[in-house]
Structure 1
Amino acid sequence: MKKPIIEVKHLHFTYERQRVLEDITLSINEGDFLGLVGPNGSGKTTLLKCILGLLKPEAGSIKLFGQPIQKFKEWHEVGFVSQKANSFNTGFPASVFEVVSSGLTSKLGLFKFMTKQDRIKVIEAIEAVGLSEFKRRNIGELSGGQQQRAFIARAIVSNPKLLILDEPTVGVDAQTVQSFYEMLMHLNRNLGITLLLVTHDIGTITDKVSHVACINKHLHFHGKSNEFESLKEEEMSDYYGHTLRVLTHNHSH
């Protein structure tokens, strides 16, 4: 049996008297690649913040790796890449290698020197996201998609078991998005990292992720991606509150 990595039960969250999340129950198991979808303002980012311990739900419970979130201490097991990574100050004078190394500071402490082993880890993380040839390049010289890959490398350098990404492809061109998702599939399948990806990009992800959760205040769907694909358009439109077509790409299977 695969172990649950994230367990959310009967979660409620209200913001300024407005109910944002209502009775959300879902679990993500070891090795899953879950796409969390829903319209703008549906509570996706709020749910992420609750899972990351940044917001406290008014009711319900969250467990990470089997532990109640209030007692969870192993945050190095969790990598996070926010959509804000794209608004990074590109004038910042740091190479890709330095940016990725900064992901080790929680383990190293700010002023400890890197060991040979640490350097190997940084190089492996850079390789895993396909940026080897850019490792000495200044982060500001990279394209938006390449910068986002560098932030993912920073998030995985400490070997997290879970990687959470909030709209990582915002501002990334369509061609890059495709290779970006392929990289995430590589992290999931070859490195065994459990992934939780928040996206509005329904059509692109259904053949990449293993599971989909669709929320719009309530949890409307939680299951395997092929089950999600076979939903009727009317059902999807109900979830989203407006007409929606699920476009899927390059299905040969």
Structure 2
Amino acid sequence: MKQPIIEINDVNFTYDRQKVLEDINITIEQGSFVGLVGPNGSGKTTLLKCLLGLLKPQQGEIKLFGQTIQKFKDWHKVGFVSQKANSFNTGFPASVFEVVSSGLTSKLGLFKFMSPKDRKHVDEAIEAVGLGKFAKRNIGELSGGQQQRAFIARAIVSNPRLLILDEPTVGVDAQTVQNFYEMLTHLNRDLGITLILVTHDVGTITDKVTHVACINKHLHFHGNSREFELLKDDEMSDFYGHSLHVLTHDHSH
């Protein structure tokens, strides 16, 4: 068995006396690519905030890399990409290289100069997301999909072993989304980064991810993507609380 990177045990979270998460148990192994799905208001973002140490569950325990989250200090091992629109002022006068290098701040400190090795890491992160020829371009001149790639490069520049993405394709066109998922597959398979992707895009992800976790206050399903595809439509509708038809895609890569 591979080393578990995330262990969530009996986690409960209540907000304003309302149970948002109830008895959540999930183990995510190193090298997995997990699609975290569920309807709006199902607790997905709350679970992410608990994982990132931003919220503390009232009950239960979360471990990252074998350590309880209270004792965990190696945050450079964890990269996070939020929905772009909420997190960045695209009028900010910075090049792609500068935006990506800002991901080294936690490692280097705010006013440390980058060594040649650091600059090489930035170049490699930009190449990994397919933006090599845009390194000197102002971030505001890029398309929405390209900006999201730059934010992913910023998240992976410190060589994290876990990358968490919160609905990164909101507002991005279909073709860009397809390319985007292929890039995530590359980060997972070729660079060995464990990924958690929060998404509404249930059908599109099933041939990209290795596992699916479906949350709607409770954990309704957690298994590999093939098992998820075999679920009946009415079982899915029970999870979501409304009718849902999962469109699955061609599995030839």
What TM-score results when the alignment is normalised by the length of structure 1? 0.98
Identity across the alignment (%): 81
Aligned residue identity for 2:149: R
1:113-192 to 2 correspondences below 5 Å: 113-192=113-192
SS of 2:221 mapped into structure 1: strand
Q: CA deviation at 1:85?
A: 5.0
Task: Please list every run of at least 4 consecutive aligned residues from structure 1 whose deviation after the TM superposition is greater than 4 angstroms.
Answer: none
CA RMSD between the two structures: 1.0
Q: Which runs of 5+ in 2 are unaligned?
A: none
Contact persistence 1:38–1:215 (CA under 8 A): yes
What TM-score results when the alignment is normalised by the length of structure 2? 0.98
Q: CA deviation at 1:248?
A: 1.2
Q: Which runs of 5+ in 1 are unaligned?
A: none
Q: CA deviation at 1:177?
A: 0.2
Aligned residue identity for 2:20: V
Contact persistence 1:35–1:209 (CA under 8 A): yes
Corresponding position of 2:68: 68
Aligned residue identity for 2:205: I
Corresponding position of 1:49: 49
Counting matched residue pairs gives 253
SS of 1:213 mapped into structure 2: strand
Corresponding position of 1:40: 40
SS of 1:242 mapped into structure 2: coil
Corresponding position of 2:235: 235
Corresponding position of 1:83: 83
What do residues 35-84 of structure 1 show as CA deviations (whole Å, max 9, x unaligned)?
A: 00000000000000000000010000000000000000000000000114
2:226 paired with 1:226: yes
SS of 1:155 mapped into structure 2: helix
Contact persistence 1:85–1:148 (CA under 8 A): no
Aligned residue identity for 2:127: E
SS of 1:239 mapped into structure 2: helix
Contact persistence 2:79–2:164 (CA under 8 A): yes
Contact persistence 1:9–1:25 (CA under 8 A): yes
* Shift in alpha-carbon separation, 1:206–1:161, aligned structure 2, 3 A: same
Q: CA deviation at 1:86?
A: 5.9
SS of 1:36 mapped into structure 2: strand
Q: CA deviation at 1:251?
A: 3.0
Contact persistence 1:213–1:223 (CA under 8 A): yes
Q: CA deviation at 1:90?
A: 1.4
Corresponding position of 1:25: 25
**Aligned partners of 2:24, 2:133: CA distance in 1, in Å?**
43
